[in-house]
């Protein structure tokens, strides 16, 4: 595959990913994977205008920030076939706990669609949880306890 990347900063591309303009990214992409911080520029970035800028249907993966994707616009694009499917580790609706995300009577229609859709994979913000990250987290906790009590 050819891996393309787009960033506001220059010279972020390397041997693994060719940096291109947003226009070229939208012309060539089959899969869009978001790796962005939450800023004023990325808040609601993936909306209907952004999605419709793509020249062909594509797959969307968001493991970055939930509020970067306008869920209702994503659902519209899924229904129309503009987005072929989505892997979402983060959601616009995120709160501190998924257990109490919504009560039964106030779940947004767009979220209900994502839950029921066969071309959407939802995970509870665990994409970065690797064996290595768990070991590092555990070691950080041990180090803090030792610093405090030893």
DSSP string, 33-67: EE-----TTTTT-BSHHHHHTSSS-EEEEE-S-GG
Q: Provide the mean pLDDT of the chain.
A: 90
- The pair phi, psi for residue 34, each rounded to 5°, is -90, 130
Domain membership of residue 120 as a residue range: 4-149
**Which residue among 24, 72, 125, 132 is the active-site one?**
125
28-37 average pLDDT score: 96
Q: How many structural domains comprise the chain?
A: 1
Residue 96 maps to which CATH number? Answer: 3.40.50.720
In the residue annotation, 72 being an active-site residue is answered as no
Q: Where are the alpha helices (DSSP H) in the chain?
A: 22-28, 48-52, 71-80, 109-116, 131-149
**Tens digit of each residue's pLDDT (9 = 90 or more) over 58-113:** 999 999 999 999 999 999 999 999 999 999 999 988 765 555 666 656 778 898 89
In the residue annotation, 94 being an active-site residue is answered as yes
**Which residue among 65, 72, 118, 132 is the active-site one?**
65
In the residue annotation, 125 being an active-site residue is answered as yes
Percent of the chain beyond pLDDT 90?
70
**Tens digit of each residue's pLDDT (9 = 90 or more) over 48-57:** 999 999 999 9
pLDDT of residue 126: 77
**Which residue among 94, 99, 118, 132 is the active-site one?**
94
pLDDT of residue 95: 66
Question: What DSSP state is assigned to residue 94?
Answer: -
- The pair phi, psi for residue 47, each rounded to 5°, is -120, -175
Two tokens at 133?
A: 């990250």
The total of other beta-carbon atoms located within 10 Å of residue 75's CB is: 21
pLDDT of residue 105: 67
């Amino acid at each position: 595959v050819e891996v393309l990347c787009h960033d506001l900063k220059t010279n972020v591309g390397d041997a693994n990913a060719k940096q291109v303009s947003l226009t070229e990214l939208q012309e060539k992409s089959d899969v869009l994977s978001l790796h962005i911080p939450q800023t004023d520029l990325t808040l609601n970035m993936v909306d209907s205008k952004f999605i419709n800028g793509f020249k062909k249907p594509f797959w969307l993966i968001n493991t970055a920030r939930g509020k970067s994707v306008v869920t209702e616009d994503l659902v519209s694009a899924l229904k129309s076939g503009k987005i072929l499917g989505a892997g979402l580790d983060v959601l616009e609706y995120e709160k501190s706990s998924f257990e109490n995300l919504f009560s039964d009577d106030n779940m947004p229609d767009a979220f209900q669609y994502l839950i029921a859709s066969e071309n959407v994979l939802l995970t509870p913000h665990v994409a970065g949880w690797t064996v290595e990250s768990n070991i590092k987290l555990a070691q950080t906790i041990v180090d803090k306890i030792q610093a405090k009590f030893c």
